[in-house]
């Protein structure tokens, strides 16, 4: 599969997984990455997600199998893993205030 097609597939998979962006969608994402506690607003979910370092490809794969994705202790470990595996999310597909934006980390 070519790089452009892979990019389209991962973007579509995340859109399908996340849903319409309701508070419940954000709360599910927080639970799926292993955040616990009551996060009563989208802004609190977004803030909490900024502390989590996961690869988006791994997140979607883990959710399919009913598992939690690998969480990295810091951005450097996530960057190293992402560079090694080539499992990038296309930066140009990140919506300004969406969930992917909250999970994205500067890789290059």
Read out DSSP for 21-78?
--HHHHHHHHHHTT--S---SHHHHHHHHTT----HHHHHHHHHTT-PPP--SSHHHH
pLDDT at 61: 97
Distance CA 43, CA 22 (A): 12
pLDDT at 6: 84
Tally of domains within the chain:
1
Residue 19 within any structural domain of the chain: yes
> Of 47 and 101, which is predicted with more confidence?
47
Residue 108 within any structural domain of the chain: no
> Of 69 and 100, which is predicted with more confidence?
69
Residues 17-65 have pLDDT tens digits of: 999 999 999 999 999 999 988 899 999 999 999 999 999 999 999 999 9
Domain span including residue 54 = 3-103
Residue 93 within any structural domain of the chain: yes
Residue 8 within any structural domain of the chain: yes
How many Cα atoms sit within 13 Å of 16 on the Cβ side? 10
């Amino acid at each position: 599969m070519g790089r452009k097609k892979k990019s389209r597939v991962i973007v579509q998979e995340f859109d399908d997984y996340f849903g319409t962006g309701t508070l419940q969608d954000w709360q599910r994402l927080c639970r799926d990455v292993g955040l616990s506690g009551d996060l009563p607003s989208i802004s609190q979910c977004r803030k909490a997600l900024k502390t989590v370092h996961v690869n988006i490809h791994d997140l979607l794969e883990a959710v399919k199998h009913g598992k939690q994705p690998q969480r990295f202790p810091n951005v450097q470990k996530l960057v190293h893993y992402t560079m090694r595996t080539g499992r990038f999310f296309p930066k140009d597909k990140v919506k300004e205030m969406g969930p992917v934006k909250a999970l994205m980390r500067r890789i290059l």
